[in-house]
């Protein structure tokens, strides 16, 4: 159901704003868990987080494909996947330790605070700048390959 909602809401070339808006909503919802005093409220917040996460997924994929050249998509996708797996290996035991020592609500609250700078940094990325950097780095790599192979 979430992708269908997304399809109705997101307009062409407005993906970045949608991703930022859903990120902010998810941060606020996560912060709200700290103040949830009953289980139904906590469940409603968690379900809203799942909904917004699922709404964001197809837009993130389209955004990735829009700015990463076809030649580099597999490599960049693999590096992204490997980085996420490595992060999971480190963060999972750390989270378990912190959940044992802290209250789970406090842990979720702190996690949402960590997400705020990430959202701010994401907002500062300019679409055109990203596109130009990828093209420039691609051209730079191709020139080096041609020089290495003896082409001028």
pLDDT in tens, 70-109: 888 889 889 989 998 999 999 899 988 988 888 887 888 8
- Token pair belonging to 94: 């750390």
In terms of residues, how long is the chain? Answer: 152
- Measuring CA to CA, how many Å separate 49 from each of 26, 28, 70, 103, 112? 6, 10, 32, 20, 12
Q: Give the burial class of 123: count Cβ atoms within 10 A of its Cβ; 0-12 exposed, 13-18 middle, 19 or more buried.
A: middle
pTM over 0.75: no
pLDDT at 145: 52
pLDDT at 129: 45
């Amino acid at each position: 159901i979430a992708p269908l909602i997304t399809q109705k809401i997101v307009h062409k070339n407005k993906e970045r704003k949608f991703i930022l808006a859903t990120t902010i909503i998810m941060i606020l919802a996560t912060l709200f868990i700290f103040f949830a005093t009953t289980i139904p409220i906590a469940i409603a917040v968690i379900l809203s987080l799942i909904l917004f996460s699922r709404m964001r997924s197809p837009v993130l994929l389209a955004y990735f494909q829009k700015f990463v050249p076809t030649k580099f998509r597999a490599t960049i996708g693999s590096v992204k996947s490997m980085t996420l797996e490595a992060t999971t290996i480190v963060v999972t035991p750390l989270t378990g330790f912190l959940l044992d020592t802290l209250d789970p609500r406090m842990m979720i609250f702190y996690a949402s605070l960590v997400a705020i700078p990430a959202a701010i940094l994401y907002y500062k990325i300019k679409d055109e700048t990203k596109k130009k950097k990828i093209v420039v780095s691609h051209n730079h790599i191709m020139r080096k390959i041609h020089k290495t192979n003896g082409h001028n």
